[in-house]
Every structure is written in C-alpha cells, then in structure tokens.
Structure 1
Amino acid sequence: MTSPRVRAKWRPSLGMIVVAVLLAVAALPLAGLFFFRLYENQLVRQTEAELIAQASVLAASYADAVERLDPPLPLSPAAMTPQPVDDRFHPIEPALDLTGDDVLGPRPPAVPPTTAVDPALQAIGAQVYAIARRAQDQMLAGVRVLDFNGVILAGAEEVGQSLADVPEVADALAGHYHASLRIRRSQHEPPPLYSISRGTGVRVFVALPIIAHTQGGDRVAGVIYASRTPNNIFRHLYGERRKVALAGGCILAVILVIAFVFSRTITRPIHQLVRQTRELGTRTLDQGPADAPHYGTREIALLSQSFHDMAQRLSDRSRYITTFAAHVSHELKSPLTGIQGAAELLHDDLEGDQAMAPEQRRRFLGNILADTRRLTALVQRLRDLAQADNPVRGGRADLAALWPDLAAQFPGLALSAHGDNAAVAMSAENALILFSHLADNAGRHGATTLTLDVAVRDWAVVVTVADNGHGISPANRDRVFDAFFTTRRDSGGTGMGLHIVQSLLRAHGGDIRLAETSPEGGAVFEVTLPRA
C-alpha cells in the first residue's frame, strides 16, 4: 500500500519566506522615515505657499499705491521681462525641498543704507506694513517692506537699514522671486523629541518683487520680505491623531499578518511533524502513520511528505516482515516436524527389542530426504527472494538475445517469441532470472509451450507470457503472488516463484499482473519492464 501524495501545487520556499519577512521588517522603518521626511517637506512647502499668498496681497497693495502717485517716482532702472498679452496668470509654485535644498545660516543682519529713502515710499511702506501687522495674529509671519534699493521701509525692527546684500533680497531686486531655508534663531531650546525633526530648526524666507506698471514698462518698486517657521510636525500629527492611529493600526496588522504567515508556513507544520514523530512509536501497524500536513513552505512540505512516506514504508515493511516470518516458520515447521518424527522412530528402532522392517525403515529415510530437499529448496527460494528485494539495479538487456538462453534452459518447453525487438533497463542476469521463474512455473503446471509477445510503449516494454498449462482457478487468482502460496506443496512447490518475480520487477520500477486465461486454457501474465 502506497501513501497518498500531496496534491502538487506551488509553494514558497523557506528562503523566500525569510527574505520576504526580512525585507518587510527592514522596509517598515524606512517607510516610516520616508513618510516622516515627506510629510515634513510638505509642511515646508505649505508654509512657502502661504507666504507667497500673503506677500502677493501686500505686494499688490504696495504696487497699486505706487502707481497712483502723482507725479510718479523714479523707480529701479531694472526693467522686467515683458509678459505675453494673452498670459493673464503668473502663478508662483512653492519649490523648496527640505531633503534636497541647502539650509543656509541665519539671516545676515541689516547694514546702513547707501541711498536715502523717498518719503512717499516710506509712507506707502508704513501703510502696507500696517495691513500685515493687523493680519499677523492669524498668519504668524514676519514681514518687512523694502524699497527698490533694499532699504527696510517698515518692519518690527531694523527700519532704515539695508538688506540688499542678502541673496534672496538681491535676487528679488533683480525682478525674480526667491525663497530659501535658513537656520532658525530661537531663544529656547526645542524639546528632545523635536531633535529628530529637521523642519523645527529652519525658517522659510520668501522675497517677492513688487512690480509696478509705469509708462516706461514694468519696474521693481520694492520687495516684500516675509518669513515664518513651518508648522511643527509633532503638533501637526497630534492634530491628525486619528489618521496616525489608523496608520499605526495598519502597521500592527502587517506585523500580525507576518506572524500568521510564519506560524502557518513554518512553526505549525514543524510542530505537527514533531508530534507525528513522537506518535510514530506508539501507533500500531494497523493504524499506520499519521496524515502528512498539506500546508507550509515547499521544504517543509517535502520534508513532511518524505517523513510520511518513510513511516508508511516502515509500517508496510514491518507488516510484511511479521507476515513473512509467520509463513516461514510455518513452512519450516512442517518438514522439520517430519524429519524429527522419522528420526525419533529410527532412533527407537535401534534401541528397541523388535527390529523395524527394512521397507518401513526405507520409507522413513525417504521422508527425511524428501523433507530435507524441501528445506533446501525453501532456503534457496528465500535467498532468491532476498536478492530480488535488493537487486543490483541498472544495466541493459536485449530481449531478443535473451530468448535463446531461456529456451536452452528449459528444453521441455516449446518457446516462441513475437513482436518488437526491445531493450529493457535491467541487467541480462536479472532478466533471465525473471523469465526463468515464469517458465519454471509454467512447466511445473503441465505446460508444453510458452509464447512471448513483446510490445513497446512510450515509457515501458510489456511482455505477455502465455502457456498452455493447467491454468489458474478463479478462486486462486487473487493469491498467486502471495508468498508461500502453492497448489503443489505435495510435489515440492514452495509458492515463492511468482512472489520473487513480482519483487524483482518492483525493485526495477516494473510490475506484473495476471491477465485473462488464454484460449488454450493456460495462464497469461503481463510483465511491464522499464524501457532502456
């Protein structure tokens, strides 16, 4: 009885599972760090966008006031690049990148100006700053209004000083928007938890040129210089605590899935295999081994199936040895009992007063010789069976070259071979032993002819062996391959021939079966041999 095989299906290897789990574990902190940096950078760009919006409104107010002056003021000689007539919108997109842009040092201090400030611009700057000051409680931005020479017209401090040498201001005076990240000056140390955030130690500075439309073209009338510290990521995450909790739940779910995969594919099958190993010694032969688990990785599934097959073979082998030992003891007991009884009678005749008749003594000696020959034949069959169970595998035999040797070995059988010429994956010696047992079995059952039909299949060679002997009765068809089963026990049969043939074939990957009775009334066997 062979154990059922696990249905073939794709299974991940143990190495794949371990690598996938390690990659997932390694990706979790990287993903968290990436999310942290991406979110922090988003806060920086959000701050820049808000400063652009606020500075644009203040710049529009400043430009409108400058354009209403009469007479007009002489502005910066740097003319702006003319825009297309149909291009109505000129959006400024935030472009600061906390991960890629350099963080500059603190803003340089203002220096004394080299030019005087026009009183009209001083008044406009004060009006614009008053608007910014009233909105500062909501927008939390520091604003300085500069004239077209970079002199501070209005601001919390440093009024009248020049910032023309600051890079972003200098770029704005040339008519270009410029934003930068600078180290934040603070009188208080940030909390320890904030030290892992890069965004808490920087400040966003935006320099937006004020463009006035004059008769000579677009001119730079000044600069709105605004700055603000980005929103703290931890404070922002606290505000989004429900979403953060959801993300944490997702991470926990991933960890639980990984734990389940490990348990399902590695831990649980190994524990089941250990349990089966412990139970193997307590199960009886009739129960057989426990079922193999049908899940796990490819290596564990193969290991479990190999263990199950090994346990099944051991169970079958133990059952076979137990049955075989019982048959051998029974077969040996009968001739030994006969030899012992005849020897005791002859011994009593030597010590008794009345001599045994010569005919009777001869009959007892004949029984001893007959039982001895039977024991000799039985021992030889047992040796043949041992060789058949563990033959020397391999080799190649040409069947056409085998038939003459078989015919010479059994001259009492008229042997005829038909069909294809084929070679089998079996040594010539083992092939001759195989067909010799079949020919001997046919001859002992009254056959005078033996027909061999050879047919070549895709993967095997099938030889049909038919004789014209007495045949096999329907009651005995199911037992012909059992060890020690014979209908010629009185004439010296051991019942081992067909069992030896079956064992030899199965050891080479072949088989034999009893076919329907031939028209001549004899036995027909189909022998399947591996093709060379």
Structure 2
Amino acid sequence: MTQHWRPPLILVLAGGLSGTLALSFAGIVALRYLGPEIGFRNAAMVLGVAITCATAVLGWLLLRLILRPILALERYAAEVRFDSTSQVDAPVRFGTRELHHTSQSVIGMATTLRDREATIRSFTDHVTHEIKTPVAAIRAAVELLEDGGMLSAEDLKIVQEIDGAQAQIQTQLDALRRAVQARETRYLGTCTLADIRAVIVENFPMLGFHFSGEHTKIPISSNGMHIVLQQLLQNSVEQNASQINLAAEETPDEIHITIQDNGSGISTGNADRIFNAFFTTKRESGGTGMGLSIARNVIAAHNGKITCKASDSGAQFQIAFPRLA
C-alpha cells in the first residue's frame, strides 16, 4: 500500500497565512519598482493577476488538504447514520496528518458499531430459529395428547400448562424479533399528533384522550410514531388508565411529546428498569416485557430519547427528538 506524505495541520495553516502575508508584501515591493518602469496602472494589473493566481493556488491547497477531507468524512458519517446495515465506502483522502488520524478513528468506530449491530441481529436470528423447532415439536406433542382422549383431568391440566409455556415462549420470540427490528428500522419523515389522532382513538376506544400541540411537527413518520404510542398506550391500559393527555411542544433545541395517564402508575423502584428488554410485572398474564423496549429502540433510531417522569397521578413519559433543522 502506497504511503502518502501528510503534512501536519499547523504547517498547512501557517503556510497558508504566511503565503498570504508574503504575497501582500511582495505586491507592494514589486509595485514600487515596476511602477516607474511600465507605469503604475500596468504594474497594478500585472501584479493583481499574479497575486490572484498565487492566492488561487493557496486556496486550492487548503481545499484539498482540509475542506475536502472534512466534507468526505461528513458525507460518510451521514450515510452510515442513515443506513447502518449497508456497506458504505469510507473516504480514501485525508489531507493532513491530524485529519487522517481523526478519520481513521471515526471509520473504526462506525465499523465497530456496524459489526456489533450485525452480531446482535445474527445472534437473535439464530436463537429464534433454533428455539422455534423444539417449540413447534412441543405444540405438536400437546395436540396429539389432547386428541388422544385418554388423559385424566390432572394429566390434561399438566398438558395445558405445557401448552401455555410453549405459547409464552413463542410470544417472547416474536417480541424479541420486533425489538431487534426496531433497533435498525427508521421511519423517515415528519408527522403531527393530528395526523395519527384518528387511528389512536380508534385503536383504544376504552381511553379518553385530550390532545394539545396537535400541529407541532415531529421528526418521525406517522407509522413510526404510531408504533411508539401503541406501545405506551397499551402500557397505560395494563395500568388501568382511563384518561390520556397527549401534548407536543417545540423548544429551542428539541421537540417534546408528553404522554400522561391516570392509571396506577409506575413504582420508583421499577422506573429505571421498565425500558429494559424482558422486564415486566405482568408475566403471569402474558406480558413479554418488550413493549417499552421496542418504543425506546424506535425513538433511539431517530436520535431521540424517552424517559419516565415522576408524576403525582398515573404514569408520565416524555419523548424528546432533536429539533428539525
């Protein structure tokens, strides 16, 4: 591999400033001596062209050694951020020595994150695939035993418990696949609470809603926002809520969406764990502990964050997205 000489950044900057200063002094000196010989107007025109050409050369060097590598690195980071699953060509020109080291660090970090994401997906696919076969075998065995008609009441109860266990495993696997998909799926676009109000109200007829800031633009498409609210509102239903306040507001730096319910709330001890995968207080009733984790992953894929806020009544969640440019 060919080794390229990369000047230090301080040398490039000092050289550019020194060259600009030297051109100014050289122009003054040259004008003093050329003026009497060829006329000050002609001398000024000749020196103007010469200084312009020399300045253009200095500008080209600064563009090649500093600006172009920075723009290439910016494009690379934007492409990786937009789609972390595909292979993106890394920059090959780095200009100065410092930009070379910085670019290598950024590229290395992006590669590590991409490999880590691929490992998570591969591991999840492998686990769900391997467990799916024995779960299907358990289900088939349960059906054969039930169809045989030779089981006592106690044996039938045990078989039903086995069937319930395999159904719970299948539910957990499906939730795990959805959570991993949420880590990598981005719902590009914008929406408002007004865009998804009708769908939300229709899907949760048992809840009463109060909306505010309905026309605040949220930097995620309506499909993505619907998935997030679906998980949060389902959590409210499980906490016996009957009323939901949904508010969106724009701050100088962020877009905030607040979801407040009047349910039984979340205990202080559980507030820090509710977004962890598989954490649930309702496993006996079929809870998977993946709903809030899915919501968090979708929000994180859009550079947002979700927090559980202290509330005097019910549960309160706040979603924060970076403000739209």
Scaled by the length of structure 2, what TM-score is found?
Answer: 0.60
Aligned residue number for residue 498 of structure 1: 292
Amino acid at match of 2:102: L
Shift of 1:470: 2.3
Q: CA deviation at 1:473?
A: 1.9
Aligned to 2:320: 528
Give the partner amino acid of 1:12.
L
Among 273, 283, 287, which residue is 1:479 paired with? 273
Identity level (%)? 26
Shift of 1:373: 3.6
Aligned partner (choices 224, 237, 249) of residue 430 of structure 1 = 224
Looking at structure 2, the residues matched to 424 and 349 of structure 1 have their Cα atoms a distance apart, in angstroms, of 53
Using the alignment, how far apart are the partners of 1:436 and 1:323 within structure 2?
A: 27
Give me the whole-angstrom Cα distance separating, in 2, the residues matched to 1:472 and 1:394: 31
2:90 corresponding residue in structure 1: none
1:403 equivalent in structure 2: 197
- For 1:519, the equivalent position in structure 2 comes to 312
CA distance in 2, matches of 1:506, 1:447: 26
Residues 186 and 302 in structure 2, CA contact (< 8 A), matched pair in contact too: no
Q: Which amino acid aligns with 2:100?
A: I
1:299 alignment partner, one of 99, 110, 116 = 99
- 8 Å contact 1:514–1:524 — kept in the other structure? yes
CA RMSD in angstroms, aligned pairs only = 4.0
Select the residue among 182, 203, 220 that pairs with 1:388. Answer: 182
After superposition, what is the alpha-carbon deviation per residue over 1:85-104, rounded to whole angstroms, capped at 9, x for unaligned? xxxxxxxxxxxxxxxxxxxx
Aligned residues: 236
Q: Which residue of 2 aligns with 1:124?
A: none
* Per-residue Cα deviation, 1:173-222 (whole angstroms, up to 9, x for no partner): xxxxxxxxxxxxxxxxxxxxxxxxxxxxxxxxxxxxxxxxxxxxxxxxxx
Q: Match for residue 309 of structure 1?
A: 109
User: Would you tell me which structure has more helix in proportion to its own residues?
Assistant: 2
Please tell me whether the aligned partners of residues 240 and 264 of structure 2 are also in contact (alpha carbons under 8 angstroms): yes
User: What is the deviation of 1:418?
Assistant: 2.2
Superposed CA offset, 1:145-182 (max 9, x none): xxxxxxxxxxxxxxxxxxxxxxxxxxxxxxxxxxxxxx
1: CA distance between counterparts of 2:264 and 2:198? 25
Answer whether contact 2:190 2:221 (CA < 8 A) is retained: yes
Is the partner of 1:426 in helix, strand or coil?
A: coil
How far is 1:492 from its partner? 0.8
> Does structure 1 conserve the Cα–Cα contact (< 8 Å) formed by 2:259 and 2:318?
yes
CA deviation after TM superposition for structure 1 residue 443, in Å: 0.9
Residue identity opposite 1:302 in structure 2: T
Amino acid at match of 2:151: M
Structure 2 residue identity aligned to 1:413: L
The answer to whether structure 1 residue 464 and structure 2 residue 252 are counterparts is: no
CA separation of 1:345 and 1:507: change in aligned 2, threshold 3 A: closer
Change (3 A) 1:505 1:350: same
Whether the 8 Å CA contact 1:515–1:526 is kept in 2: the answer is yes
Shift of the 308–448 alpha-carbon distance from structure 1 to 2, 3 Å rule, reads: same
Q: Structure 1 residues 423 and 305 mapped into 2: Cα distance closer, same or farther (>3 Å)? A: same
Query: Rg larger in 1 or in 2?
Result: 1
Unaligned runs of 5+ in 1: 1-10, 24-295
Q: Output aligned runs, 1:98-497, within 5 Å.
A: 297-310=97-110, 313=113, 317=117, 336=135, 340=138, 343=141, 355-357=150-152, 359-419=153-213, 421-497=215-291
Indicate conservation of the 8 Å contact 2:142/2:159, yes or no.
Answer: no
- Residue 513 of structure 1 aligns to a residue whose secondary structure is strand
From the two aligned structures, give the one with the greater strand fraction: 1
Separation of aligned partners in 1, 2:181 and 2:319: 19
Q: How far off its partner does 1:474 sit?
A: 2.0
| Residues 14-56 of structure 1, C-alpha deviations (whole Å, 9 max, x = no match) | 9x38988xx9xxxxxxxxxxxxxxxxxxxxxxxxxxxxxxxxx
User: Contact 2:257–2:320 at 8 Å: present in 1 too?
Assistant: yes
- Output the CA distance in 2 between the equivalents of 1:527 and 1:417: 15
Shift of 1:387: 3.0
The structure showing larger relative contact order (alpha-carbon pairs under 8 Å, at least 6 residues apart) is 2
CA distance in 2, matches of 1:435, 1:349: 42
Distance change >3 Å, CA 531–CA 489, structure 1 → 2: same
CA contact under 8 A between 1:454 and 1:463: conserved in structure 2? yes
Q: Give 5+ residue unaligned stretches, structure 2.
A: 1-7, 20-95
Give how far 1:400 is off.
1.9
Q: Is the 8 A contact 1:342 1:365 kept in 2?
A: no
C-alpha displacement of 1:524 = 1.1
Question: What is the CA–CA distance in structure 1 between the aligned matches of 2:217 and 2:178, rounded to whole Å?
Answer: 24
SS of the residue corresponding to residue 285 of structure 2 reads coil
SS at match of 1:423: coil
- Larger mean CA deviation between 399-408 and 307-316 belongs to 307-316
CA distance in 2, matches of 1:347, 1:482: 38
Task: Tell me, in whole angstroms, the C-alpha distance in 1 between the residues paired with 2:189 and 2:10.
Answer: 37
Counterpart residue identity of residue 439, structure 1: L
Provide closer, same or farther for how the CA distance between residues 415 and 361 of structure 1 changes in structure 2, counting only shifts above 3 A: farther
Deviations 1:251-285 (A, max 9, x none): xxxxxxxxxxxxxxxxxxxxxxxxxxxxxxxxxxx
Contact 1:483 1:499 in 2 (8 A): yes
Instruction: State the Cα distance separating 1:435 from its structure 2 match.
Output: 0.6
Distance 1:366 1:423 in 2: 50
Partners in 2 of 1:304 and 1:18 — Cα distance? 24
Change (3 A) 1:470 1:300: same
State the shift of 1:383 in Å. Answer: 3.4
Give CA deviations for 1:285-337 in whole Å, capped at 9, x if unaligned: xxxxxxxxxxx7342242133045336636865896799799x78xx69x959
1:12 equivalent in structure 2 = 9
Deviation at 1:346, TM superposition (A): 6.9
d(CA) in 2 for partners of 1:361 and 1:507?
A: 48
Instruction: Work out the CA distance in 2 between the residues paired with 1:348 and 1:467.
Output: 43
Specify the code of the residue in structure 1 equivalent to 2:183.
Answer: D
Contact 1:336 1:371 in 2 (8 A): no
Shift in Å, 1:349? 11
